[in-house]
Amino acid sequence: MSLPSAKVQALRAYVPWRGRSLPLQWSEEFGHAAPLQIEIGFGNGDYLMRCAASRSDLNFIGIEMTWGSIKRASAQSHRKGLRNVRLLWEDARTALAWAFPEQSILGITALYPCPWPKNRHAKFRLFQPAFLTLCNTRLVADGTLTIVTDSVPYKDEILETNTFELTGMKAELEVIPASFATKYERKWEETGQNEFYRITYRKLVHKPTSNPEVLLVKHHVVPQLDPTNLAPRDEKDRFSVQFKQFIFDPRQNIGLLEVFTHEDTVEQHFYIRIKKQENGWKIHPAGGPPLLPVASVQRALDIVKETAEAQFKS
């Protein structure tokens, strides 16, 4: 058996989590059990790697939305020989909801999250009561959520909106000097800023919440379908389902329909495979990146089925 390539080794810390049984069993992912520490939005991963190198008794998980950050941080962990680092390429809200069991995380850290200062972007601000309640469910008793920001308005909003009554966590504010040597911290220092705000939320009361519903996605078979005239309509009611290009091979009677779905924080891009077989036309998700089994995926399949049935109604 040949050894894994250097490229594969450099991505060893990356966890393609959507293809695993959920929630993940993190002791299996790391190969050993240890308390979990999470960093949301780790950027280049410098702080995450320093923490992992100094605390071999803890397992560290970084969550980022940019693939470039995942690659750079994974390569860095490989160069440093760190065995206690894993990385998720995902929105933090989706990752925490699906990939972590309740009361499984010791601490969560977010350094200099984007404050989205314009009012029209307020919906993108991460640290709102619904997210802090989710953090509460995933933290162990007395676990902490630490947020460091350079923004006074964002600091004030976080403290005002995320009360103990809503989150089950008590907040403590500290004014601190530059302490983390991150890219953005150095940027603010260069502009003359020397005060930063650390907000620590400590979990005092467990706030249970319902976990995401895992659906058994139902495939369809329709007796008739006209692939030359297949035009399913987008929907934006309960969630967003958008259909893009449809590619059809008439020699094999196989088509691929491109789909984008969005519900809550789960965005997915996938293809629906439509193939003629003896008992009709089968409609199902095509092979590819694993999908989270959520209602919007099922709705996309249902819309294609309904469109096919409507083609032949008198």
Domain positions in the chain are 6-203, 220-311
Are 217 and 305 in contact, with CB atoms under 8 Å apart? no
- Residue 2 is predicted with a pLDDT of 45
Categorize the per-residue pLDDT at 8 as very low, low, confident or very high, splitting at 50, 70 and 90: low
Mean pLDDT confidence for 91-119:
93
**pLDDT, tens digit, 9 for 90 and up, residues 198-209:** 999 999 999 988
SS3 268: strand
Listed residue (57, 150, 63) closest to 112, CA to CA: 150
Q: How far apart are CA 177 and CA 173, in angstroms?
A: 13
Mean pLDDT confidence for 166-193:
89
- Residue 3 is predicted with a pLDDT of 42
Categorize the per-residue pLDDT at 264 as very low, low, confident or very high, splitting at 50, 70 and 90: confident
Most confident of 52-56, 178-182, 184-188, 235-239: 52-56
Topology of domain 6-203, per CATH? Rossmann fold (3.40.50)
**pLDDT, tens digit, 9 for 90 and up, residues 281-306:** 999 999 887 889 899 999 999 999 99
For residues 62, 66, 67, 70, the Cα torsion angle rounded to the nearest 10 degrees is -20
